[in-house]
Every structure is written in structure tokens, then in C-alpha cells.
Copies of this chain bind each other. A is one copy, B any other.
């Protein structure tokens, strides 16, 4: 085949990039499990009618068709009728999984899910057609206490705190509460809350004048009402005084609304807990609206500090009706990390890099093909003690075998004893050139050389 070119929107990493991605995924999994989230996977496909329930996403869906569907009598017709598409997020599948298995799950159901999703969008920087998401959600049966809206962004904060040591920049988790916006909006006399939210959500894109125009056109807002909404949207801060400022604003504008009060009490609770448990990471930002109309309480967006133009790398919120089976409603709160968007930036900006491309800490040299079994035996012994090892592919001259290890980034080369004397084994650190006798039953590489690691990069591109 001719040299193929990469497919736009479908990112792939070289082995070093995968080391970085795998480290990120391992940290996420570990953090989620420490917080009691159970891992699940769902199938990649969902019935089209489920995927298209929200009209706005319809254009993003990849539809599946069996190549020879017409020709098969068995599943073709049934499947074409059902219509399957690739999932574009992990929330629609979660809702379906919860309803399907409700009787076999315990609630509140705490789950994490790390999988690929697909969207037929136009690819651009940080926006892919295939990408990995890492989601955490807690789903209740009929009820879901508010404190989970406090806990979930703190789990995300803990995950990113753990990622800081490999060079991932700090994050800022921006939070708001739909009840505050809705109560404030109604208190102002603007009843089409959805239109208000949609307009405010565009603030970063169209600026204050644009939002004022949108609010007038779509929500019938007067210049004063629009100015008040913009004043609310301008409030932000990482301590509880932010709530006082909204209260002051409401008092000045003579807004009284029960939902606003409830929302502010909630937001106060979140910001207080966050400033104690993850100081500086969680910031109230009253302009965060999130376009999606199913959020009903807290909403979250997350930026990588210094890379704000990348957009949100972790978003979510509270939804009172994640799913319903007719008799029971399942409220939920969740956040979704855009792993591919994050890793792509970590690699392209050289923020994180891998110490080597291969797992092997040791290359066992081969004296000659007749004694390959002796090298295999040394390798098996080292592996039995948890040391990743490969055996040289050919019994070339030792200099060539050392260069082979060097090219792969393998730090140690093992020279097996030619005879039966165990003391005659030697191991060479090919970085320092130091060579010493070593006992295959006890020798250990330094801990930092045992596995490839993700480490802070030089800052320049090239890790990918």
C-alpha cells in the first residue's frame, strides 16, 4: 500500500504519546475508584431514536450500515428498522444502561466510564471526530442530595491535582447554578429563561453588545434587564463573597425570588467546601450557562490555565431527569473530561513527555543463537520479579545490541554468563556506560527506570 496519510479528526499517538495518554487514564481511573466510582463500559452503538432525542445533536451522529445489509435475510431488516448510530457522548448510554439495569444496580449509582465517542463534526484544533471521554456521574433513584454537586467537581480537582506532577497545567473549574440564573431572570421579569440562558451563554463569543441584542431579540429584554443580566454574568470569584455580591445586586435591583435564594445557598455551599478542600481551583463564574437545556442545578466548565482558548476540557452539571422509565425518574450529576483534547494539547505543546517508547527496562543480550535459551531464562527470571524485559532479536556483536537498546530507549543491557557461574552476569547502564556484575535473582533497576513514565516536558512541541 502507498504510505497512508492520517485521517483528519481521528487522532492517533505514537508509542511515546500513548505512554502519556495511558498515564492520564491510569490517574483518572485511580482517582475515580478512590472516590467509590465503579467502572463500566457500554456498547459503542445506540438506537438512532435515542441518539436523536435532542434535535441539536442530530448532525453529529455517525449512522451504521452493514455493507451487505440488503443481501442478508437475518438481521438486516430488523437492524435497518431499529437504526443504530455511534454514541456521541457517554450520557445517553448511561441513561439507557440505568433504565435497562435499574433492578440490578444500587442507588445512588456512582459510575465512571472511559471510552471513545464519535461526532461527525468538522475537525479543528482540540475538536475531533473520534475522541476519548472520561465521565463520572452519580445517578439517584427519584432523589439525589445536593452535596453530590459539591463532591463531583472536587473529584475532578483531585484528579488534576494528581496530574500536576507530570506537568499537566493547573485547571480552573468554573461553576454556576442554573437556579441562580433562572431565579434572577424571572425576578427581573424575564420569563423565557431558556432564551436568556442561550443568550448569556454566547457572551464569550459575541461580547456584551451581542448578548444585549440577543436578549432583546430572543427574550424580549429591555436595555435595563439586559444590563442586569450582564452585571450578574460579570460576577466571579473563588470565595463565598461572590454569593454576597449577587445578593447585593439582587437587593439593589429589588429582585426577590425563592429559586434565586435556593440557588445562592447551594452555590455558597459549593464554594465554601471547595475553598477549603481545593483552594483556588473552583471558581464561581456567573456567566457559565451551558447551552444544554437539561441542566437544572450546578453547571461546570473547566479550563486549563494558560490554555483557555482550547475551550472547556471538563464540563457537566446537575440534571433532575437524566432518565425516566415512566414511573421513576433518575436525577444525576456528572462531569466529562475530554481526554483526547487534553492529551493532544499536552503532547503538541510539549508539556508532558514519556521517558521512553517501550516498556522494557532491560535488553538481555544474546551471545550466540545457540545460547538464546540462556538469555530467555534470564529474561523470565527478571520478569518474574516484575521487571519488563526483552531479549535481543539477533545475536549481533554486542556493540550493535547496545545500539539497538539505545535506539529504543532501553536503559539497561544484560550480558548473560557464558558458563554456569551466576557471578559472571553483567549489566550495563548504557546512559552512564557503567557496567557491573549482577545477580539475575536479586538485581533491581532504580525505581524511576522500571517503567516508562510521563514527565514534565521541555515545553516545546515534539513529544508526540
Q: Which residues of A contact B (CB under 8 A)?
A: 1-8, 10-15, 18-19, 21-22, 32-45, 47-48, 50, 52, 58-69, 71-72, 74-75, 84-86, 95-97, 99-102, 104-106, 108, 110-111, 116, 118, 120, 122-123, 130, 140, 145, 147-148, 151, 158, 273, 276-277, 323-326, 357-360, 369, 372-373, 376, 380, 383, 386-391, 393-394, 407-408, 451
Of A4, A5, A34, chain B has the most CB atoms within 10 Å of the CB of A34
Of A97, A273, A373, chain B has the most CB atoms within 10 Å of the CB of A373
Shortest Cβ distance from A430 into chain B, in angstroms? 15
Contact of A380 among B15, B36, B277 (CB under 8 A): B277
Contact between chains at A407 and B106 (CB < 8 Å): yes
Complex Cα spacing A68 to B2, Å: 31
Contact between chains at B68 and A65 (CB < 8 Å): no
User: Nearest B residue to A95 by beta-carbon distance?
Assistant: B1
Contact between chains at B389 and A34 (CB < 8 Å): yes
Contact between chains at B62 and A68 (CB < 8 Å): no
Complex Cα spacing A86 to B390, Å: 33
The 5 closest A-B pairs by CB, nearest first: A36-B390, A66-B120, A36-B360, A33-B359, A10-B43
Contact of A40 among B18, B32, B33 (CB under 8 A): B18
Which residues of the other chain, B, contact A407 by a CB distance below 8 angstroms?
A: 106
Shortest Cβ distance from A366 into chain B, in angstroms? 9
Contact between chains at A66 and B62 (CB < 8 Å): yes
Which residues of the other chain, B, contact A324 by a CB distance below 8 angstroms?
A: 1
Of A18, A38, A151, chain B has the most CB atoms within 10 Å of the CB of A38
Shortest Cβ distance from A445 into chain B, in angstroms? 13
Shortest Cβ distance from A83 into chain B, in angstroms? 10
Contact between chains at A130 and B43 (CB < 8 Å): yes
Shortest Cβ distance from A133 into chain B, in angstroms? 14
Contact between chains at B35 and A388 (CB < 8 Å): yes
Contact between chains at B277 and A376 (CB < 8 Å): yes
Contact of A45 among B18, B130, B386, B394 (CB under 8 A): B130
Shortest Cβ distance from A384 into chain B, in angstroms? 9
Contact between chains at A67 and B58 (CB < 8 Å): yes
Take A1-B323, A42-B12 as given contacts and tell me if A393 and B36 are in contact as well, using a CB distance cutoff of 8 Å. Answer: no
Complex Cα spacing A393 to B388, Å: 43
Which residues of the other chain, B, contact A61 by a CB distance below 8 angstroms?
A: 66-67
User: Nearest B residue to A1 by beta-carbon distance?
Assistant: B99
User: What are 10 inter-chain pairs, A to B, with CB distance below 8 A?
Assistant: A1-B324, A7-B43, A7-B84, A18-B41, A33-B451, A34-B386, A35-B383, A59-B67, A140-B393, A277-B376
Take A61-B67, A63-B67, A358-B38 as given contacts and tell me if A130 and B44 are in contact as well, using a CB distance cutoff of 8 Å. Answer: yes
Contact between chains at A12 and B45 (CB < 8 Å): no
Contact between chains at A44 and B118 (CB < 8 Å): yes
Complex Cα spacing A151 to B379, Å: 12
Contact between chains at A388 and B63 (CB < 8 Å): no
User: Nearest B residue to A128 by beta-carbon distance?
Assistant: B43
Shortest Cβ distance from A389 into chain B, in angstroms? 6
Contact of A122 among B43, B59, B74 (CB under 8 A): B74
Shortest Cβ distance from A394 into chain B, in angstroms? 6
Take A2-B326, A96-B4 as given contacts and tell me if A38 and B18 are in contact as well, using a CB distance cutoff of 8 Å. Answer: yes
Take A1-B323, A101-B14 as given contacts and tell me if A64 and B40 are in contact as well, using a CB distance cutoff of 8 Å. Answer: no
Shortest Cβ distance from A358 into chain B, in angstroms? 5
Contact between chains at B43 and A12 (CB < 8 Å): yes
Shortest Cβ distance from A345 into chain B, in angstroms? 18
Contact between chains at B41 and A3 (CB < 8 Å): no
Contact between chains at A41 and B13 (CB < 8 Å): yes
Contact of A100 among B4, B11, B86 (CB under 8 A): B4
User: Nearest B residue to A324 by beta-carbon distance?
Assistant: B1
Contact between chains at A62 and B65 (CB < 8 Å): yes
Which residues of the other chain, B, contact A75 by a CB distance below 8 angstroms?
A: 8, 120, 122-123
Contact between chains at A1 and B96 (CB < 8 Å): yes
